[in-house]
Structure 1
Amino acid sequence: MQDDAKGAPAPLVVGIGGTIGGVSSTERALRIALGEAAAQGFRTQMFGGADMARLPLYDPRATSRTPEEQAFVEAVRNASAVIISSPGYHGSISGVVKNALDLLEETARDSRPYLADMPVGLIATAYGWQATGSTIAALRSIVHALRGWPTPFAAAINTQVTRFDDEGGASDPAVVEQLRLIGRQVARFAPLSGGVAA
C-alpha cells in the first residue's frame, strides 16, 4: 500500500473484469492497465473473473448481501477511479461484468452514488474487431448511466491477432502501450473526482 507525504493511503483504482473459467485475455489486459496506475502512485484492487463468479445474480429485493457483494461495493465506494475490462459476448459485455455493475445499485443513496464523477477506463477484448467496437460502445453507455466519465481513450483488443502471456506482456507492444495509457489516464483524471465520498 502506498501512502502520500502525510501518511494517508494513496487513492484507489478498482479494476473490474475477466471471464469465468480461468485467467483470460480480458483479465490480463486489465492487469496491465492497473499496473500502470500503480506505477503512477495509486493503490489498486482487482475483481477478476473468479471474484465475479462468486457474486450471486443481483436481486434488488434482497435484504442482505453476501460478504463478496459487500467487499465489491465497498471497494468501489472507496475508489477514486475504475477500470472495466469485458470480453465481447454476442456484440456486448459479458453477463458477469454486467452483474457486477448492477450491484452498484447498492450505492444509489450514497452521497456519491454509482460511479459519479469518477474517471472510468474501458477495455474490450473479442475474437474479431466487430465485437470490440460494440462492446466499447455498450461500456460507455453504461458508464454514462452510472454517472461516470469514460476516459478519452478506450482499448479495443482483437485476440485473433494479439496474444497475452503469463509475464504481463502481449505479442503486440502497441496493445501494451494502449493499456498503459488507460492506466495513466485514470490516474491523471482521478484527482478531478474530488476524492472519496464520506
Structure 2
Amino acid sequence: MKDWSPLVVGIGGTLRDGSTSERALRLALTEAARLGAKTQIFAGQSLNLPHYDAIERTERATSLVEALRAADGVIIATPSYHGSISGLVKNAIDYTEDLRADARSYLAGRAVGAIVCAGGAQAMGATLGTLRTIVHALRGWPTPFSAVINAAQRPFSADGACSDPIIAQQLAFVAEQVVEFARMRRLYESRRNGLAPQISEAAPAQCA
C-alpha cells in the first residue's frame, strides 16, 4: 500500500481576509502539511454561506460539505464574539447536518483541533468550552490540546508570520494531534480489515 496522507480540513476566520483567526488556522494547516497531510481551507468569503437550510445548497456550501465528508481530521479556528464562537463559524459547522446519514455521521471518527482568538482570558475560556462541546455533540474527538490566542497582542505580521514562538508552538501542537489521530485511526481500520498500511512520519512538534 502506498504511503497515505490524511486530509485535514480547516474552517475559520472572519469575512475579513487576514483576520487573526484565519492566520492562526493557516499556520496550523501549514504544520499539518509539513507532517505529511493534505489540507483544504474554508476561510474568508468561502464561509459566506446562506443560513443553514435543509433543502438548498450553494456551490460554496456543497464544497464545504464534500470536504468535511472526505476529511480525516478538522481544525476549527474562531474569534470570540460576546463569549462564544462567531455566527459565521457556527453556521459553517451547522452544515455537518448534511452528513447525518453517512457511515461516519457528522464528525465521527475525526479528530478536531480547536483554535480560539479573543481579547481576554474570560472570552477565550468560554468560547473554547463552547467549541469543544459542539464538537462532542457532532461525535467528533476534540484534541486534548487546544490553542487560545490573545488577539490584542497582534501576534501575526501582514504576511501571516507569527512573532510569538509560544503561539506558534501551540498551533503546531494542535496540528500534530489532529494528524496523529488520523493516522492512528487509519492504522486501526487497516488492521481491522486485514491490511498493513505504510504511514510516513515527520518530526513531531514540541510544545512548551
Task: Identify the match of residue 13 of structure 2 among 11, 15, 18.
Answer: 18
Count of residues in correspondence between the two structures: 187
Task: Identify the match of residue 127 of structure 1 among 107, 119, 140.
Answer: 119
> Where does the alignment leave 5 or more consecutive residues of structure 1 unmatched?
none
> Where does the alignment leave 5 or more consecutive residues of structure 2 unmatched?
190-208
Q: Report the Cα offset of residue 170 of structure 1.
A: 1.9
Matched position secondary structure for 1:112:
coil
For residues 111-190 of structure 1, the aligned pairs below 5 Å read 111-190=103-182
For residues 21-170 of structure 1, the aligned pairs below 5 Å read 21-53=16-48, 55-60=49-54, 62=55, 64-170=56-162
Matched position secondary structure for 1:165:
coil
Instruction: Give TM-score, length-normalised by structure 2.
Output: 0.86
Kept in 1, the 8 Å contact 2:73–2:182? The answer is: yes
Return the alpha-carbon distance in structure 1 between the equivalents of residues 110 and 91 of structure 2: 20
Structure 1 pair 112/22, CA: closer, same or farther in 2 (3 Å)?
A: same
Task: Identify the match of residue 6 of structure 1 among 2, 5, 8.
Answer: 2
Return the alpha-carbon distance in structure 1 between the equivalents of residues 69 and 184 of structure 2: 16
Kept in 1, the 8 Å contact 2:22–2:43? The answer is: yes
Q: Which residue pairs with 2:203 in the alignment?
A: none
Deviates more, 1:164-173 or 1:69-78: 164-173
Moved over 6 A (4+): none
Return the alpha-carbon distance in structure 2 between the equivalents of residues 157 and 130 of structure 1: 12
Return the alpha-carbon distance in structure 2 between the equivalents of residues 170 and 65 of structure 1: 36
Larger radius of gyration: 2
Instruction: Give TM-score, length-normalised by structure 1.
Output: 0.90
**Which residue identity does 1:59 align to in structure 2?**
D
The Cα offsets for residues 104-151 of structure 1, whole Å up to 9 and x where unpaired, read as 100100111110021000000011221111111001000000000000
